[in-house]
Amino acid sequence: MPARPPKPPRRSRSVAVVAVVLATLAPAGAAWADPAGFAFLEVPAGARASAMAGAYMSVGEGASAAWWDPAGLATVQRVEIAGSHYEFLQHLRHDQFVMAGPLWGGGTALSLRAMYSEPIVSRDELGNETGSFGSNDLEFMLAHGGNWGGGWRGGGSFQVLHERIDFSSTTTWAVNGGLTYDPPARKAMRLALAVQNLGPAGKYGLDDGVKGDPVPLPLALQGGGSYRWGLGGDWRLVGAFEGRATRGRDGVGLLGAELAEGHGAALRAGWRVNDPTLSWTLGMGWTVGGLTLDYAFVPFKLDLGDTHRLSFEARF
């Protein structure tokens, strides 16, 4: 691991993080002008996060945090695995799998994400069928997160990305980084900030070895906070408010809530502000021993259909 930088005074660190987080929650407008490729990286990973409309940066811990803020891997104390499966927009399938364990003074994870399509009919300019084509996207990732003391956690990850459409493909790489802060005076609060998909653009290989125009990654900045309330007995409520700015898209506001009780049941809901494709989400989960099963219902706008998302987490 790289050497830890000297810590600034706690008060100045707290003020700096709060300032950055609040900046990400401000209306972002067009985040970056250039349209981005590798769109599968913008699909919320995990049914729990999907049910909370993606307001999960300041909530996620354990193995699944590798896809959001790798600082959350600092909580990994035994072997954990997580996976999910989505089917949406008629032809697309999205699968995710991660394994994490305590290593190198914190939590370390290896993950695979893939989005692929069923055969899609191709047509000429007159509408006649000319055959079919397919596409797939792959991400291989190594991530690590650790405790820095004083309520701080930090983490980072390295990704190898591959995208193919029909017979053309491109490969590139990216890095992610994130921080979380649990104020010692307010242990029920958490602030988080992460940058995702920071790396070089890919270039598709075309006919005769010619390279196409650069395809930028969906570079994103997401930050915000969450708060946990005890409601008496075994009941608790978690609320999260975050903002996300992504290259080639308008900034969005993310609101999420989770109501859970000590025997393992959880109900979730979320709302996305300024998102042209979806607004509200719902979901539920159940934990038995070291196994958690989650479900999310994500209805799309623009007659794109509804999505049912399933995921699991297991701890050994």
For the stretch 159-170, pLDDT in tens is 999 988 877 888
Q: What is the pLDDT of residue 121?
A: 63
The one-letter code for the residue type at 253 is: G
27 vs 269, residue with greater confidence: 269
Q: What is the pLDDT of residue 144?
A: 98
- Cβ atoms of residues 297 and 310 within 8 Å: no
CATH architecture of the region 10-315: Beta Barrel (2.40)
What's the average model confidence in pLDDT over 102-130? 82
Question: What is the per-residue DSSP string for the chain?
Answer: -PPPPPPPPHHHHHHHHHHHHHHHHS---BSBSS--S-GGGGSPPSHHHHHTTT--TTT--SGGGGGS-GGGGGG--S-EEEEEEEEETTTEEEEEEEEEEEETTEEEEEEEEEEEE--EEEE-TTS-EEEEE-EEEEEEEEEEEEEEETTEEEEEEEEEEEEEETTEEEEEEEEEEEEEE--TT-TTEEEEEEEEEESPPEEEE-GGG-EEEEE----EEEEEEEEEEE-STT-EEEEEEEEEEEBTSB-EEEEEEEEE-TTSEEEEEEEEES-SSB-EEEEEEEEETTEEEEEEEEEBSTT--EEEEEEEEEE-
Q: What is the pLDDT of residue 78?
A: 95
* 68-81 pLDDT per residue, tens: 999 999 999 999 99
Question: Mean pLDDT over all residues of the chain?
Answer: 85
- Cβ atoms of residues 62 and 80 within 8 Å: yes
290 vs 29, residue with greater confidence: 290
Angle at 43 between CA 47 and CA 143, to 5 degrees: 85
Q: What is the pLDDT of residue 131?
A: 64
Q: What is the pLDDT of residue 253?
A: 96
The one-letter code for the residue type at 95 is: D
* 174-189 pLDDT per residue, tens: 999 999 999 999 989 9
296 vs 249, residue with greater confidence: 296
> Given a cut of 70, is residue 243 above it in pLDDT?
yes
Domain range annotation of the chain: 10-315
* 90-114 pLDDT per residue, tens: 678 889 999 999 999 999 999 999 9
The answer for residues whose C-beta is within 8 angstroms of residue 3's C-beta and 6 or more apart is none
> Given a cut of 50, is residue 137 above it in pLDDT?
yes
Look at the block and give the residue holding tokens 């003391």: 149
259 vs 214, residue with greater confidence: 259
pLDDT confidence band for 298 (50 / 70 / 90)? very high
The answer for residues whose C-beta is within 8 angstroms of residue 198's C-beta and 6 or more apart is 174, 175, 176, 177, 217, 219
